[in-house]
Amino acid sequence: MPIKLENVGIAVRDLEETIAFFTDLGLTVMGRDTVSGEWADTAVGLDGNHAKIAVLQTPDGHGQLELFEYLHPDAIETNPTLPNEIGMHRVAFSVDDIDAALEIAAKHGCTPLRGVANYQDIYKLTYLRGPSGILVMLAQEVKGH
């Protein structure tokens, strides 16, 4: 049976704020919708499921994020995920210029958790907290690798 990853879904506090963050980093909005009804209740497993959604795609055409902001039931606030917690962890992107990507993230109030690391002179990488506490990893391949 062939299998293909379609997207990574992320519940967010503010859909427009999150779209602005990811589109500034270079993703493109592929579509938007509002979903509700019996099919949505069945698929997601929540009665009265009603959400605004947006699908964003990476410039290479291979990666997609599905962002959703719940209208009903109310979104449940939790503490942001820590890097060592079990469960859904982070979204990672390769970038051509990590400094430029960090400047864009900073315009959205998002800064590295600690700094930019150098992994064996292969990658410069960092984790940052995006909108709604999303952990985002940015990695730039070091020239010559």
Residue 106 reports pLDDT greater than 70: yes
The mean pLDDT of 115-125, rounded to a whole number, is 94
Residue 145 reports pLDDT greater than 80: no
69-100 per-position pLDDT tens digit:
999 999 998 888 888 888 877 999 999 999 99
Confirm if 102 and 138 have CB atoms less than 8 A apart: yes
* Of the candidate ranges 3-7, 10-14, 98-102, the one whose mean pLDDT is the lowest: 3-7
The mean pLDDT of 22-38, rounded to a whole number, is 96
Give the pLDDT of residue 97: 96
Would you call 145 exposed, middle or buried from its count of C-beta atoms within 10 A (0-12, 13-18, 19+)?
A: exposed
Give the pLDDT of residue 89: 78
For the whole model, what pTM was predicted? 0.89
CA separation (Å) from 142 to 90, 98, 124?
Answer: 22, 10, 7
Give the pLDDT of residue 79: 87
- Residues of the chain with pLDDT > 70, as a percent, come to 99
- What does the alpha-carbon distance between residue 136 and residue 126 come to, in Å, rounded to a whole number? 8
| Beta strands 50-57 and 28-36, pairing class | antiparallel
